Amino acid sequence: MNRFLLFLNVTIAILTGGLVLLGYFVDNPTINNFQMILLEWMMILAGSALLIGIGNMFSVHLQKIREHKPGSVNSAVLLFFMLLTLLFGFTPDFSAVQGLILNGILIPVSTSLLALLAVTLIYFSMRLLQTRRNAFSVVFLLTILIILLALSPLPVIGGFSFFSDSVRYFISNSLVLGGARGILIGIGLGTLTTGLRVLLGADRPYGGD
């Protein structure tokens, strides 16, 4: 990338970023209106990037089919349904089919993956003390066990009121909430410095060195 183009990119990024940020802090009609215009442009560009992303997905899977790479049959199925969904999406007469694709395919498949995740997590929890035997792992597993005991009544015995009324409340509202707030403050600070690096032109995720 030539130096002029890089300079132009950095200048545009810093100016637009700075103006959008200023719009959040200052109550000035001119700045706020300009911020709105920039945000609208950003939405349009993000929408275009989404289309490019879909094009990229199409191109990757088409290449897999052409080169007979492993999993090319899956790619063919994906492209077939991608085109079919696109066709149904653009044709108003097929609005009922759109609902069928969403409720009959997309949501059940996502739910199945979540169910798979639950099983995987149980497996990981069982293996945790083998892979990483330290105090944190023990505390982690004990907390899981207590919360599960508090949330799920056991057959015949029923619920453990001590866990569900006192211990769970203490863990959720004191320990977890406090810890989560601390972590979120840290993440907020990290986000601030990441944004500053981009605003100062030190990080240039838009390319160029």
Instruction: Kindly state the tokens that stand for 152.
Output: 């799920």
CB of 185 vs another protein, minimal distance in Å: 6
Q: Which residues, at least 6 apart from 1, have a Cβ–Cβ distance to it below 8 Å?
A: 9, 207, 208, 209
Binding site for another protein (CB under 8 A): 1, 21-22, 24-27, 42-43, 45-46, 48-54, 56-57, 59-60, 63, 69-71, 74, 109-110, 113-114, 116-117, 120-121, 123-125, 128, 131-132, 136, 140, 180, 182-187, 189-200, 202-203, 205-209
Comparison of 100 and 126: residue with beta carbon closer to another protein? 126
CB of 161 vs another protein, minimal distance in Å: 26
* Single-letter code of the amino acid located at 124: F
Residue 157 is classified by DSSP as: T
CB of 155 vs another protein, minimal distance in Å: 26
CB of 95 vs another protein, minimal distance in Å: 21
Comparison of 114 and 157: residue with beta carbon closer to another protein? 114
Comparison of 138 and 165: residue with beta carbon closer to another protein? 138
CB of 145 vs another protein, minimal distance in Å: 13
Comparison of 131 and 161: residue with beta carbon closer to another protein? 131
Comparison of 44 and 165: residue with beta carbon closer to another protein? 44
CB of 166 vs another protein, minimal distance in Å: 23
Comparison of 93 and 209: residue with beta carbon closer to another protein? 209
* Single-letter code of the amino acid located at 114: L
